[in-house]
Copies of this chain bind each other. A is one copy, B any other.
């Protein structure tokens, strides 16, 4: 993982053509970590330029997914070296942390892209951002309630099986 520390920052404006896949209806609660191991490696102090594979290590996302995130507009503009390779900053890692959180809560990618757009558009979109997050917060609250009620059902059934097991063990 050698890192080229100083490079001319030729930021060519690459505007990813949004496919804008709008999700009109609420989603099923299908989540789970999607196979990849969760990263959470500590960030090296004093560093502010990371290759795609370093970021993949950090975040637990694959390099494929990071490129895909950029393509669909889910990343703020990512810096490039003069040869066109991506160099992610600490700010990008912060953003990916947030995205990871939102993803864990089942926010559709389309909504996250919308939020990213609002962030790119600047301070004028604070109100809409607050609204979007508030709406999602309410979703999360509801999901927690759902999960807790299901946990009760599970406890109830597990209890029945455990009782049956203990009864048979006592024989």
Contacts and interface: CB of A to CB of B under 8 A. Distances in A.
Contacts of A158: 130, 133-134, 137
Contact of A140 (B98, B150, B160, B165): B150
Given A32-B26, A142-B31, A164-B126, A153 B98 contact: yes
A104 B29 CA distance: 5
A149 B28 contact: yes
Contacts of A23: 153
Contacts of A32: 26, 106, 108, 139, 142
Copies of this chain, whole number: 2
A75 to B, nearest CB: 18
Contacts of A156: 22, 24
Interface in A118-132: 123, 126-127, 129-130
A148 interface: yes
Given A127-B165, A137-B154, A165-B127, A30 B147 contact: no
A123 B25 CA distance: 41
